[in-house]
Structure 1
């Protein structure tokens, strides 16, 4: 059987040789002088001479001539036959040498006329002298661990940059100039991508070798845009016109698409960023042994194009080759895709992908990291410093604990200074006849209360009380009007009270009581987080500015919002009572229970004090400081209603017309709330500030790889 196949093959070769020989037999006489090999060589030489002025590189001419050789023989045959017959009719008496010379002369003329005059051979005679890529071929080997070894062979023509007149005559159109290649080639490779969620991903890229015409060549890799640029050549070495073959080898990872039913390589072969035209692009992909390619596709054109001027051919189960079918213009590329069964190639681990995602989105990572660290430190500080001692049983108390002043009680209860404590102190002084508060309504259309503090008759008797309790000089209050506008005296008194309360009642920290105190704000344990949050906010602005989808924006906003909320919460819950403070707070809560409870019969068995005007006025400052003045006033509504109606009662703390007040409750509530808001405004200084592709769904430019390049 093998012998029969060998005999058949020999017969076919003889037949082909016979046909080729017949194509080169022009006349009987010339066949006796020239062999068909000699005639074939003469026609090739004649063709080269005809286009010699075009300076076509020999490799280019050789490649093109092979494509047109048989066609040229057939097209030139009539002209050569006619020319040979003329030679035979005019040179019968000439010597053999002269006859051979005439044969060659006429053959060269006939071939030249056919080559230059027949449009079928325009690709032989019309050579583009601009810099361009003649062929771009890559070979990719996919490793089992996901790494891809890529070998790119880029054959370029470095010309004079202009298109010849003959080229423009053959291919009419606007003249194109490209003389970018001076020293060598530049190849860009993207490494930074945006995934479907709008987050950045980065792939590794490592050049392992560069050659020019088979010899090692200088190169430099620099960060460039969203990837790297490989600059090939030397700054002081300029290339002469001609062909150059560059070979670039590199490796990369995280380029494969892992799906449940397949593992896919979706690859932009030459990239859509080349300024040069490219005559042909080809790619070969080799998967690991055991892989079986079951799906493939290819695309050509500008980025996003779904044109398919290309084809793919499966060489074996694990190897496939792709080729473009027509030249590519500037910024056009070939993109290929091939899929194999899952399980052959190891998918990246969750740790690798997480690290890659965190590193690529480092600004977002910084935002999340800062917020998490701040939260953890705040939680630790709260556990260590901010947790209150266990609350004891709360029982009604009918006297303020430990002889606290109203301002003291409010400061301990709220764990901070508030305007109500200043108001409570003023009312306390009025109740004790240290001052008198005159209230008047002023204004044309929108009337508001004006509070004037005057000297009371018994002021001299309680002057020491004011000094000892509040450290105030009563004379500084006399004649002061509080009407909602800034008053420096009131601000000074309020600030003095705040400092006194803080010095006497607030500890340095719950864990380090260097002085007597009932609670600690632990401001240092939480306040620093606002500064850290602001730093995260700055990084968040950069993330939002560079975001291409809503996912990073929503993530940043959500993280910053949660971070700010948690910071505010920790700032509020960080103050903690000391052990002594917790006991005092339990007593204060019991006292407030008595002040704020309207159901009087609840305390009958505990023998509460008898209700009278003196009791009401005595504890009213405490009710103001503990924010339960309305409930405290309601307890005395029935007792004092008649006195107010008969105008036989004038509060010790209030001097003014009570005819507009329908009830004592509304009077007390209105007075205390208005006084507090007026005091707050009057004691605050003004501010200057105002308020996949393998399934056919891909396109050119998609997938990994890509980039582009140019000359330099």
Structure 2
């Protein structure tokens, strides 16, 4: 019976030993040959115990190739695998880019290892690992790396220099990242060799770092030409973008001098009526050299002044009602607005998102009409000149991004660029709102500022750490240069616009009329040509004041006239405007900004630091770590 119990216990004991079996590194040895030109030829021999847990097909070795030196400069070192062996025979391997270097996967993905000991040997070369200082040169080298997920029973390294000499200074560090413990022994083993070995095992995430320094002249120091070449190699993506940004600025500057400079302003003569045959919307279109929703707003209000429509304002909910009139003198653009709003038998329309299709079509027809009648005759946008610059920007940024060292950095660069651009877009929205007059504009500014603050707070709270990590490996000048190029397209799109000679003459007349709209009543006393201010004049020119962003000044003139008894004190708003709620005060600015906002929303469908002093484990070149796969 006892025998049978023992036999039954054997599988359980076997299972227990299997569970207790541990994967670890029995030994890690590195032969480091320092070549005369400063390159390193490194052969790492790693003996591991595999149990089919983490080490199933083989091991992987991480090797950092991107560093930031004490001056904050990014440094990219060379790394090339020459051979990989397992138990003395060539072994399959493949490389994968990491955010700060390379990962070497050793083993066949289709072959699983049996439990046991395996000896892996990796031979590679690397460049730019030596530190060249005023009085000595140095190898500050992380032999094992501090990223291993296994303990290391014994770690050692042998450094071989190209020539023998007498003064060979050695030290080293062991333990986790940043440790200054020195649980190791080291000695000079020959005229040109030094040997280092740990005196106790290394735990997980612990490593061996060595420091060997020698007199200058043993190894050739990089020439100035070589250092310049390295600089351009390190910063190639950023230099491509910065160079592209400078070239783009020069291109646009030349274009601006040739095409974007305005004709000289003529003599501004005050006008007491708008230039003949120009509607409020057309004057705004020419003045801004482009279309916006306020062109549409001023057109609707001018239609109301002419008796073609009435406007109902139910506490900001607008309805435009068609009036039965005949023989109206409408500008071509206003006729398009009228037909666009009241086609298909409609006699009224609410300015809300339920009618966004109708509104967007009416706006489109109005815009096309103004472009056909006034663009090129009165101004040129020169927008065609932007296409070569935009194409060049795409090519430059794509080339720079393709030169980044890894797919991970490419994705981080795109991510960071987008999250940097979003607050800039929000700031632009805040600025546009700030330029609006009246209560609606102030409300929009407040809303945009709140959204901007909330977004930036969430951005800092959630992505601050990734951004800091990203800044360690990714070229921030690339982001800045790319954003600068995008910003240049926006600004030069505005600056390349230029009035023609006919446009300049019209702009001079508009300036003369604006002088009348905004000049104080007391200043008009000396102007004998100024007409008597009446309610009729106020209402007739109100759409022009709105189109030219002078509705506040024009209404202030009305209020002064009321205060001086020049017009009826009982007057509050035009007969074509019907409001519910307390919206009589400052009705023109409230109407303009509120209606403008309503139209806008309703037209859219829903080797540089020394380790001899102040060094630590994990410092210097080399490093990384590894694991099983």
**TM-score normalized by structure 1?**
0.57
2:196 match: 323
Counterpart selection for 2:40 from 141, 148, 171: 148
Question: In the alignment, which residue of structure 1 is the partner of 2:334?
Answer: 470
SS in 2 for 1:313: strand
Structure 1 position 388 matched with structure 2 position 262: yes
The answer as to 2:504 corresponding to 1:582 is yes
CA contact (8 A) 2:352 2:602 kept: no
Counterpart for residue 469 of structure 2 = 549
Distance 1:373 1:321 in 2: 52
Change (3 A) 1:222 1:247: closer
Could you say if the C-alpha distance between residues 264 and 599 of structure 1 is closer, same or farther in structure 2, counting changes exceeding 3 Å?
A: farther
Is contact 1:482-1:678 (8 Å) kept? Answer: no
- In 1: Cα distance, 2:300 partner to 2:25 partner: 92
Matched, 1:336 2:205: no
| 1:67-104 deviations in Å (ceiling 9; x for gaps) | xxxxxxxxxxxxxxxxxxxxxxxxxxxxxxxxxxxxxx
CA change 1:391–1:483 in 2 (3 A) is same
Picking from 217, 221, 242, the partner of 1:346 is 221
Q: 2:366 aligns with which of 497, 521, 540?
A: 497
Paired with 1:190 and 1:708, the residues of 2 have a C-alpha distance of 7
Residue in 2 that maps onto 1:284: 159
Determine which of 608, 612, 616 is the counterpart of 2:529.
608
Q: CA deviation at 1:255?
A: 0.7
**541, 558, 573: which is aligned to 2:495?**
573
CA contact (8 A) 2:316 2:595 kept: no
Equivalent of 2:565 in 633, 639, 642: 642
Partner of 1:705: 622
Cα contact 2:611–2:619 (8 A) shared by 1: no
> Any gaps of 5 or more consecutive residues in structure 2?
1-22, 402-409, 417-462
User: Map of 1:86-105 to 2, 5 A cutoff?
Assistant: none
**Does 1:269 find its partner at 2:269?**
no
Report the CA distance between 1:355 and its aligned residue: 3.8
SS of the equivalent of 1:611 reads coil
Aligned equivalents of 1:683 and 1:694: distance in 2?
63
Question: Structure 1 residue 625: deviation in Å?
Answer: 1.9
Correspondent of 1:674 among 569, 586, 591: 591
Between the aligned partners of 1:436 and 1:277, the Cα distance in structure 2 is: 87
Partner of 1:122: none
Give the 5 Å matches for 1:195-274: 195=68, 201-206=75-80, 218=90, 222-224=94-96, 226-227=101-102, 229=104, 250-259=124-133, 262-271=136-145, 273=148
3-state DSSP class of the match of 1:698?
A: coil
* Contact residue 424 and residue 625 of structure 1 kept, 8 A: yes
Match of 2:386 in 1: 525
- Residue 254 (structure 1) shift: 1.1
User: Which of the pair has more CA radius of gyration?
Assistant: 1
3-state SS in 1 of match to 2:290? coil
Deviation at 1:337, TM superposition (A): 0.2
Please give the alpha-carbon distance, in whole angstroms, between the structure 1 residues aligned to 2:32 and 2:558: 96
Superposed displacement of residue 412, structure 1: 0.8
Q: Which residue of 2 aligns with 1:136?
A: 29
Q: Distance in 1 between matches of 2:577 and 2:281?
A: 22
Higher RCO by CA contacts (8 Å cutoff, separation 6 or greater): 2
Q: Is the 8 A contact 1:611 1:636 kept in 2?
A: no
SS state at 1:297 partner: strand
Contact 2:151–2:202, Cα closer than 8 Å, also in 1: yes
Q: Which moved more, 1:279-288 or 1:625-634?
A: 279-288
Q: Is the 8 A contact 1:504 1:517 kept in 2?
A: no
Of the structure 1 ranges 485-494 and 410-419, higher mean CA displacement relative to structure 2 is found in 485-494
Paired with 1:447 and 1:377, the residues of 2 have a C-alpha distance of 47
Taking structure 1 as reference, are residues 616 and 142 closer, same or farther at Cα in structure 2, changes over 3 Å only? Answer: same
Query: Are 1:296 and 2:182 matched, yes or no?
Result: no
**Secondary structure class of the residue paired with 2:594:** helix
Provide the rounded CA distance (Å) in 1 between the counterparts of 2:579 and 2:27.
Answer: 103
- 2 CA distance for matches of 1:651 and 1:620? 11
Matched residues in 1 for 2:84 and 2:572: separation? 102
- Give me the whole-angstrom Cα distance separating, in 1, the residues matched to 2:510 and 2:475: 46
Q: Is the 8 A contact 1:470 1:497 kept in 2?
A: yes
Q: Counterparts of 1:681 and 1:131 in 2: how far apart (Å)?
A: 69
**Number of equivalent positions:** 528
Tell whether the 8 Å contact from 2:136 to 2:214 is kept in structure 1 after alignment. yes
SS at match of 1:471: helix
